[in-house]
Copies of this chain bind each other. A is one copy, B any other.
Amino acid sequence: MKNNTDNCNGKMPSLRTFDFEKNVGGGTAVKCSRPMEKQLGRVSCLDTPCLVLDLDMLEGNLQKMQAVAKHAGKNLRPHAKTHKCSALARLQIEAGAIGVCVAKVSEAERLAKAGLANILITGPVVTQQKLGRLLAVRQTMPSLMLVVDHGDSVDWLSASMQAAGLTMDVLLDVDVGLKRSGVLPSDIPALAERVRSRPNLRLRGIQAYAGHVQHLRPYHERRTDSLQCLQQAVPIFRELKATIPTCDIFSASGTGTFDIDIAVPEVTELQVGSYVCMDTEYRGIGSAVDAAQFTAFAPALRVLTTVVSANHRGFVTVDAGLKSLYRDGGVPQVFAPPDAGLTYDWFGDEYGRITYSDPGAAPALGTVLELIPSHCDPTINLFDRFHLVREDSMIGEWPIDLRGCSQ
């Protein structure tokens, strides 16, 4: 693929040990209505706006994160909230992940329906409706785990499981500074005791997610802060592990700190999400080897967009706006055509503006551009499918079957 090396500093591994064509669970063949054009890549027979996953890059990303985790002696439990796709979750597990994370019960429902197991729900469940749905998933998935961060919800969860004659594995959600969910480290012993007092809840360990440091620049500041966060949870985990035989999970980390958090011996698994497809927000945070860029993972995710109006000098209008590129985390970047000095900015719900400084680089009416989204998670959630491409071929598509699962 002509642009890979340009955009990845030539550092991307190309291991290709997976057989993606055999493993693309939901993949289906795509017929093009006209001959494949290669002007701007192999995907110009796709209508736009649409989401494209570059399988070479995806493969490299999966392999690299798995290799890093394995080398560090950590398990990988990637976050499916990023990609919202059971076929991709299955691929992560086949590549070596011990399971996946989800943020919401409705996401777990869809993954269970797709036949996946070993799912950790990383957010608290506190209402009767949600407990009912959780119970239904648990009935088909003994390996389901859930975090808890409040004594009341421990009681509600226990009562719900007791009524069904089931047990549930739980992690204590430790608030190491994000302040979004979790209990402060000082309150963990009481919460642990609350869980232990319930015979139908099994305490499996802790979750300590430092979400607030994932996008910190520069790298060394991020490193310092992430390690400080995790150190708050280390003595807690040691204590729990020493006294509770079932307590052996320390789930933590994210794409921004994966190579930092592996240095904490107590951490047992990494909850990384965005690495699988990446976005411009993550690519700009800097890394251990490059203060300006974070290029460990390749931008496998692209939004294709078409020039639909070209009546001005200096810019054209494309057909991807707020509803195709989630407005968060900066602005999307133009991936193809490369090196043409094109920049994207939002231009309303349905449109974007592509600015050029060189008149010779002005994209003509009907031209298809490839953009790297600024924030991958909510952008993926705007679409129903990934189109899968490798080099000059379209392989098929995966349904984004967790799309819209916000409950």
Contacts and interface: CB of A to CB of B under 8 A. Distances in A.
A42 interface: no
Contacts of A113: none
Given A123-B351, A350-B81, A309 B149 contact: yes
Interface in A312-348: 312, 317, 319-320, 322-324, 326-328, 347-348
A351 B311 contact: no
B319 A183 contact: no
B126 A365 contact: yes
Given A181-B317, A381-B323, A124 B309 contact: yes
Q: How large is the interface on A (under 10, 10 to 19, 20 to 34, 35 or more residues)?
A: 35 or more
A393 interface: no
A21 interface: no
A47 interface: yes
Nearest to A385: B404
A406 B182 contact: no
Interface in A57-111: 81, 103-104
Interface string A367-407: 00000000101100111100000000000000000011011
A349 interface: yes
Contact of A150 (B47, B149, B309, B327): B309
B308 A34 contact: no
A181 B378 contact: no
A193 interface: no
Contact of A181 (B49, B104, B127, B351): B351
A182 B309 contact: yes
Given A181-B308, A407-B50, A322 B378 contact: yes
Interface stretch (A128-136, A232-240, A259-267, A281-289): A128-136
A153 B307 CA distance: 12
Contact of A404 (B152, B306, B347, B382): B382
A130 B47 contact: yes
A175 interface: yes
Contacts of A124: 308-309
Nearest to A404: B384
Contacts of A182: 309, 311
A180 B347 contact: yes
Copies of this chain, how many? Answer: 2
Given A175-B311, A306-B127, A348 B211 contact: yes
Contact of A350 (B49, B103, B128, B382): B103
Interface in A294-318: 306-312, 317
Interface in A242-290: none
A265 B164 CA distance: 69
Given A180-B347, A351-B180, A404-B384, A150 B310 contact: yes
Given A181-B317, A350-B104, A365-B153, A129 B47 contact: yes
A184 interface: yes
Contacts of A133: 47
A403 B33 CA distance: 25
Contact of A327 (B127, B128, B328): B328
21 contacts: A33-B129, A47-B133, A47-B407, A49-B407, A81-B350, A103-B349, A103-B350, A125-B308, A150-B309, A150-B310, A180-B309, A180-B317, A180-B351, A181-B317, A320-B406, A323-B381, A326-B327, A327-B328, A349-B377, A349-B378, A350-B406
Interface of A: 33-34, 45, 47-50, 81, 103-104, 123-130, 132-133, 149-150, 152-153, 175, 179-184, 187, 211, 306-312, 317, 319-320, 322-324, 326-328, 347-351, 353, 365-366, 375, 377-378, 381-384, 403-404, 406-407
